[in-house]
């Protein structure tokens, strides 16, 4: 019996060892297969060939001088060649660039300290006189950046790293105006700035190596201050010159250029719908309805709210613009971190009717009516529109139809451009369909300040305009009181060859955030 027990235990031990051995063999086989697969993946990754050059296209070339050009795409490209004092992030926050600090010493005075370790692409150092030179040039010439400096009264440079700017009046959030490119005073010494043949130099990631009749060649700037930590993957960029945008689209389809930036809503007619990547981003062209807050009917905020509830913005963008516009609720919803969603009114016809009823309006004989100041008033409104703007005329008629669905009678008044401008200037309307191009500066004075186009007067809101910390609070109140009804804004598209990789977060200020990470592979 004893021997039988010993053999029994030996047999069990043998079986256990056999199971362990088999499991070990199977594990090693699987591990080898996994390692082999991982090695294959690593080999594929390692074998990706990143090209040294990337290509872009422009038409209507004028100059690479960023202060003189009127070409929108050159302005975009200049962001990787030239630097401003203060940069703007993809969320429209300000951040120091060539400036180390910007101190507001009083309502009209700013002191800027420069990073004088920054080198120009010719090897010389950035100095305060470069900033003064640039500002003075912008005040002398007609530049897209001239508006940035129009309120600068005086510039002083007490030492090489200090710039003192005096304004002729307070400018809200003036830091956003310091986003123009800075040029070298030494480089342009004794030069005719507007006519020189010298190739402009900057302090940015790339520098201009050559310009000829067909191409502009940019190469990596080895003196760029961030070169060690953020070396660009692309060594050079060729910017090809074309006569028309149609030629650029054709060249893109043929694979001859890698990047197109466009606001053309029909771009797929030119490049098709496949074989490339795209990144859509909010434009700053914003259309809205202004409501005259001094009108006998519209001074009631509940009426304004009801109108806003009754308008289906998605229907407008889909039926009139084939979804080539973004629905827009506010003047800061183009990507700004300061945009407030609080109290935003969205489409709800039932709520529109309830809002009118709660405000004392009665729906009778297919009309809303209410006793106001001893008179029975019917809710009949007019909306003015420039008759030459075909899209806005369509939108105005669409709004008319939507409001009439809840019983508000609307007359569309199509007027000449001259009369339309008079309406805006004199606030001589009930409702008007209009639009603006938003600045990157979050100043809301145009909409809320003195003499605003909606005759909107709220001292509590105005008190919150001068501080970044309270702008959201101001919007919250405005969203509730509805002096304006946002409709839509334009859509821009960055179109990229399928082989272009990187981190893409374009906005209307800069297309090329994180460009050092962009690359093109075979």
Q: What CATH number should be reported for the domain holding residue 319?
A: 3.10.105.10
Q: Which helix (H) or strand (E) is 384 found in, with range?
A: strand 380-386
Would you say residue 75 has pLDDT above 70? Answer: yes
Measured CA to CA in angstroms, residue 381 lies from 164, 325, 411 at distances of 52, 27, 6
Task: Work out the burial of residue 275: count CB atoms within 10 Å of its CB; fewer than 13 is exposed, 13-18 middle, 19 or more buried.
Answer: exposed
Would you say residue 12 has pLDDT above 80? Answer: no
Phi and psi at 223, nearest 5°, equal: -100, 5
118 Cβ contact partners less than 8 Å away, ≥ 6 residues apart: 83, 98, 125, 126, 203, 225
Tokens read off for 15: 């079986």
Residue 26 lies in a domain: no
Report the pLDDT averaged over residues 292-311.
Answer: 97
Instruction: Clarify whether residues 347 and 390 are in a common domain.
Output: yes
Residue 92 lies in a domain: yes
Question: What mean pLDDT is reported for the chain?
Answer: 91
Instruction: Clarify whether residues 329 and 378 are in a common domain.
Output: yes
Q: CA 42, CA 49: separation in Å to the nearest integer?
A: 13
Instruction: Clarify whether residues 366 and 483 are in a common domain.
Output: yes
Phi and psi at 360, nearest 5°, equal: 100, 5
State which of 180, 203, 226 marks the end of a domain.
Answer: 203
**DSSP class per residue in 306-334:** HHHHH--HHHHHHHTTTT-EEE--STTTT
Instruction: Clarify whether residues 183 and 225 are in a common domain.
Output: no
Phi and psi at 481, nearest 5°, equal: -95, -15
Q: CA 426, CA 483: separation in Å to the nearest integer?
A: 16
Instruction: Clarify whether residues 91 and 129 are in a common domain.
Output: yes
- What CATH number has the domain bearing residue 58? 3.40.190.10
**What are 152-178's pLDDT values in tens digits?**
999 999 999 999 999 999 999 999 999
Q: Please tell me the least confidently modeled range out of 35-49, 232-246, 249-263, 317-331.
A: 35-49
Residues paired with 280 in a beta bridge: 493
Tokens read off for 131: 């900033």
State which of 185, 203, 221 marks the end of a domain.
Answer: 203
Residue 197 lies in a domain: yes
pLDDT band per the 50, 70, 90 thresholds, residue 522: confident
E strand residue ranges, 22-161? 50-51, 53-59, 86-88, 94-96, 99-106, 109-114, 152-159
Tokens read off for 190: 């004794």
Whole-number pLDDT of residue 233:
93
Residue 143 is given by DSSP the state -
Instruction: Clarify whether residues 223 and 97 are in a common domain.
Output: no
Residue 265 lies in a domain: yes
Phi and psi at 238, nearest 5°, equal: -105, 120
Q: CA 202, CA 225: separation in Å to the nearest integer?
A: 12
Instruction: Clarify whether residues 318 and 361 are in a common domain.
Output: yes
Residue 293 and residue 299 in contact, taking contact as beta carbons nearer than 8 Å: yes
Instruction: Clarify whether residues 181 and 135 are in a common domain.
Output: yes
**What are 102-111's pLDDT values in tens digits?**
999 999 999 9
Q: CA 11, CA 508: separation in Å to the nearest integer?
A: 78
Instruction: Clarify whether residues 152 and 217 are in a common domain.
Output: no
Residue 77 lies in a domain: no
Q: CA 255, CA 287: separation in Å to the nearest integer?
A: 36
Would you say residue 286 has pLDDT above 60? Answer: yes
Residue with tokens 């920054």: 118
30 Cβ contact partners less than 8 Å away, ≥ 6 residues apart: none
Instruction: Clarify whether residues 168 and 102 are in a common domain.
Output: yes
How many helices and strands, by DSSP H and E, does the chain display?
14, 23
Report the pLDDT averaged over residues 91-98.
Answer: 97
Residue 125 is given by DSSP the state B
Would you say residue 64 has pLDDT above 70? Answer: yes
Whole-number pLDDT of residue 45:
38
Residues paired with 110 in a beta bridge: 104, 165
Instruction: Clarify whether residues 405 and 419 are in a common domain.
Output: yes
Q: CA 441, CA 466: separation in Å to the nearest integer?
A: 12
Report the pLDDT averaged over residues 427-456.
Answer: 95
Instruction: Clarify whether residues 105 and 251 are in a common domain.
Output: no
Residue 1 lies in a domain: no
- Go through 229-240 and write b for each residue having 16 or more CB atoms within 10 A of its CB, e for each that does not: eeebbbebbbbb
The total number of structural domains that make up the chain: 3
- What CATH number has the domain bearing residue 167? 3.90.76.10
Q: Which domain holds residue 183?
A: 82-203
Residue 42 lies in a domain: no
Three-class secondary structure of residue 519 per DSSP: strand
State which of 141, 169, 203 marks the end of a domain.
Answer: 203
Residue 441 lies in a domain: yes
Residue with tokens 């990143």: 50
Residue with tokens 């402009």: 200
């Amino acid at each position: 019996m004893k021997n039988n027990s010993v053999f029994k235990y030996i047999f069990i031990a043998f079986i256990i060892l056999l199971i362990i051995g088999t499991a070990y063999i199977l594990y090693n086989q699987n591990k080898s297969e996994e390692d082999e697969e991982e090695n294959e993946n690593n080999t594929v990754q390692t074998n990706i060939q990143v090209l040294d050059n990337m290509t872009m296209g422009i038409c209507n070339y004028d100059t690479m001088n960023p202060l003189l050009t009127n070409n929108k795409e050159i302005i975009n490209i200049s962001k990787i060649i030239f630097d401003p004092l203060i940069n703007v992030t993809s969320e429209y926050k300000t951040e120091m660039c060539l400036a180390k600090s910007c101190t507001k010493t009083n309502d009209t005075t700013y002191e800027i300290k420069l990073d004088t370790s920054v080198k120009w692409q010719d090897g010389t150092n950035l100095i305060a006189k470069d900033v003064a030179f640039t500002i003075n040039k912008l005040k002398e010439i007609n530049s897209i950046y001239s508006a940035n400096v129009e309120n600068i009264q005086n510039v002083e440079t007490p030492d090489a790293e200090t710039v003192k700017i005096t304004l002729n009046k307070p400018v809200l959030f003036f830091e956003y105006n310091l986003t123009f490119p800075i040029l070298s005073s030494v480089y342009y010494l004794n030069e005719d700035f507007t006519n020189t043949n010298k190739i402009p130099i900057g302090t940015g990631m790339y520098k201009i190596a050559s310009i000829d009749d067909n191409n502009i060649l940019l190469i990596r700037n080895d003196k760029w201050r961030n070169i060690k930590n953020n070396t660009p993957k692309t060594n050079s960029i060729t910017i090809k010159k074309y006569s028309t945008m149609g030629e650029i689209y054709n060249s893109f389809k043929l694979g001859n250029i890698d990047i197109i930036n466009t606001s053309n809503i029909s771009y797929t007619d030119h490049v098709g719908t496949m074989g490339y990547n795209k990144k859509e981003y909010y434009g700053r062209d914003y259309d809205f309805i202004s409501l005259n807050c001094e009108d006998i009917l519209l001074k009631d905020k509940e009426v304004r709210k009801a109108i806003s509830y009754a308008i289906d913005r998605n229907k407008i963008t889909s039926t009139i613009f084939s979804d080539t516009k973004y629905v827009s609720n506010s003047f800061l919803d183009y990507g700004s971190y300061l945009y407030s969603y609080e109290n935003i009114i969205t489409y709800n016809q039932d709520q529109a009717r309830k809002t009118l009823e709660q405000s004392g309006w009665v729906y009778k004989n297919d009309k809303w009516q209410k006793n106001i100041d001893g008179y029975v008033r019917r809710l009949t409104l007019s909306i003015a529109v420039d008759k030459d703007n075909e899209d806005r005329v369509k939108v105005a008629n669409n709004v008319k139809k939507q409001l009439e669905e809840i019983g508000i009678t609307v007359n569309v008044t199509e007027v000449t451009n001259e009369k339309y401008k008079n309406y805006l200037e004199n606030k001589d309307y009930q409702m008007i369909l209009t639009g603006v191009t938003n600045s990157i500066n979050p100043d809301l004075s145009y909409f809320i300040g003195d003499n605003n186009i909606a005759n909107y007067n709220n001292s509590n809101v105005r008190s919150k305009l001068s501080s970044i910390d309270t702008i959201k609070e101001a919007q919250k109140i405005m969203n509730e009181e509805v002096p304006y009804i946002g409709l839509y804004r334009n859509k821009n598209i960055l179109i990229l060859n399928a082989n272009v990789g990187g981190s893409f977060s374009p906005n209307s200020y800069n297309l090329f955030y994180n460009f050092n990470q962009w690359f093109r592979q075979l």
